[in-house]
Chains A and B, each alone.
Chain A
């Protein structure tokens, strides 16, 4: 598998800051990878490093913005509705009507997605009662 390389210490921070600007996702809140090479994602379209990947994301965002309707509830890079808003408006209320919701956050690290899910449920579904669950290892 090809990987994106970040050879200089600043490359990763610059990439994360760029992603935060584009997508409002702060990757620096996640554990920073060790070592010189980090398998962030398979390099699409022949890109070789994080700087090139960030430029690709910026280009995609610019293309999307120029054809966007300007709705605020869209993802900067795709024009699609934001996942959290879809969760709050179209998924959780419907599922809650049918009964208890069980959510599993795979590889949740320090729990950002799980806590976000809980916060959205508390906001979107009146009367939500949260039950925490112990971390579950899926490794053999």
Chain B
């Protein structure tokens, strides 16, 4: 994703059902942002360049 110009949002541990996959991204220092689940929709829309 990074290699092709994408940005990576990871869900924060506080709202994860199982933190395994987000943890792998965070520990690999690949996350551009770590956000709780309720904040993800706005962040995704923002990353897509769409005004909310």
Inter-subunit contact A44/B19 (CB<8 Å): yes
B48 → chain A, closest Cβ, in Å? Answer: 6
Q: Closest CB of chain B to A124's CB: distance in Å?
A: 12
Contact A94 B50 (CB under 8 A): yes
Q: Mark B20-42, 1 if CB is under 8 A from A, else 0.
A: 10010000000000001110111
Cα–Cα distance between A57 and B48 once the two chains are bound (Å): 34
B contact set with A: CB distance below 8 Å? 1, 14-20, 23, 36-38, 40-42, 44-45, 48-50, 52
Contacts A/B (CB < 8 Å), 9 sampled: A22-B17, A42-B23, A57-B18, A76-B17, A77-B17, A78-B17, A80-B37, A86-B37, A91-B45
Give chain A's interface residues, CB within 8 Å of chain B.
19, 22-23, 25, 40-42, 44, 57, 75-81, 83, 86, 90-91, 94-95, 97-98, 104
**What is the minimal beta-carbon distance from B42 to any residue of chain A, in angstroms?**
8
Q: Which residues of B contact A76 (CB under 8 A)?
A: 17
> For A81, what are the chain B residues with a Cβ–Cβ distance below 8 Å?
37-38
* Contact of A41 with B18 at beta-carbon distance under 8 Å, contacts A78-B37, A81-B38 already known: yes
Give Cα A94 to B48, complex, Å.
10
Cα-based distance from A76 to B18 in the complex (angstroms): 11
Evaluate contact between B44 and A91: CB separation under 8 angstroms.
yes
Choose among A25, A42, A91, A98 the residue that contacts B17 (Cβ–Cβ < 8 A): A25
